[in-house]
Amino acid sequence: MVIVVRPDLSLSKEFWYWVTPGVGKTSLTHLISQNETIINPSWTVGCSVEVKLHEFKEGLPQQKTYFIELWDIGGSSSHRNTRSIFYYPVHGIILVHDLTNRKSEQNLQKWLAEVLNCEADGKNTKPFDDFDSEQFFGSTQIPILVVGTKQDLVHGARSQKLMTFAEECGADEIIMDCRRANSLAAGSSSAVKLTRFFDKLYACKLAAQCSHAAVSCYRQGMIHCPNITNKWLLMGSPKIILKSNIPGEEGIRLIEKQAKNEGLISTVIRDAGRTEVTKGTVTVIGIGPGFVDKISKVTSHLKTL
């Protein structure tokens, strides 16, 4: 099976949702977006937004510039039932807690559950405290980063207690002092983790589109050519992701036409429009399962993504 992605698929605005109590998240948001510290941060009421330019895969041929919106959501308990309107669609979550406040660390699971249990209408379908780590792990493609603040006020041994929760949800962790501008200095371990976190959004978005194409092709294969599809499964379900050499929907449609001429199964995926990509935008095409020689006639001239 082959998945072909259009080369100009762009995510021009990324919306990153912050789900945190009042533990220094405003200072952290300002530091990330402005590369400077904030002297007198105020309490967040509702939601405030900062914008950052991010270079996806900086220094590589695939480098692209994206706008990232950092949504700093207030953690007041008085807004508990209304702040869920900011949670959908969720593209990434940064959980922030105060290293000097043990309770804020313990509440990270509740904050994560509050976001993940929220549906498109902004309503929570489960109790806020309902978080199953075993069910969560591997079940979501949402990138998560855990940040512990006020590192200057605690001993090293105390700060390491964050590791358990970060590992539990498969997230990177950053421990820092938001009052120091060099906390996210270029090349530092914290800056590298933050960049890796932002890069994950595009990768996860692309993975979701490719997964839809693969599943759809498999379903068609089991109906129209079950013998070939079963052989493909026995071989370990090999797949390769390529990049179309023609920008826009035109390139995908041309590949679709060529696949049909060869008698191959193909599925064109259109975005659902729940993010910044316009609803109905053609993003990827899946081809196969099928004979290698036929698939090669259609895709051999394309490069891997």
Give me the residue label for tokens 């109590």.
Answer: 21
∠ CA 174-106-185 to the nearest 5 degrees?
A: 10
Q: What is the pLDDT of residue 164?
A: 66
pLDDT of 123 higher than 60? no
In sequence order, which residues have a C-beta less than 8 Å from that of residue 221 and are 6 or more positions away? 228, 229, 232, 265, 288, 289
Q: For the residues 115-137, what does the mean pLDDT come to?
A: 56
Highest mean pLDDT among 23-27, 84-88, 139-143: 23-27
Question: What's the pLDDT band for 68 if we cut at 50, 70, 90?
Answer: confident
pLDDT in tens, 175-194: 888 888 899 998 899 999 99
pLDDT of 283 higher than 80? yes
Distance CA 305, CA 297 (A): 18
Q: What is the pLDDT of residue 162?
A: 47
Q: What is the pLDDT of residue 112?
A: 83
Q: Residue 129, SS3? A: coil
Distance CA 54, CA 194 (A): 10
Note the CATH number of domain 207-304.
Answer: 3.40.1490.10
* CA-based radius of gyration for the chain: 22
Q: Where in the chain are the domains?
A: 11-202, 207-304
Q: For the residues 133-143, what does the mean pLDDT come to?
A: 60
Question: What's the pLDDT band for 161 if we cut at 50, 70, 90?
Answer: low
- Which residue, 39, 301, 45, is CA-closest to 178? 39
Highest mean pLDDT among 7-16, 123-132, 219-228: 219-228
Sign of CA dihedral 132, 136, 137, 143: negative
The CATH class given to the 11-202 domain equals alpha beta
Per-residue tokens: 87: 């949670």
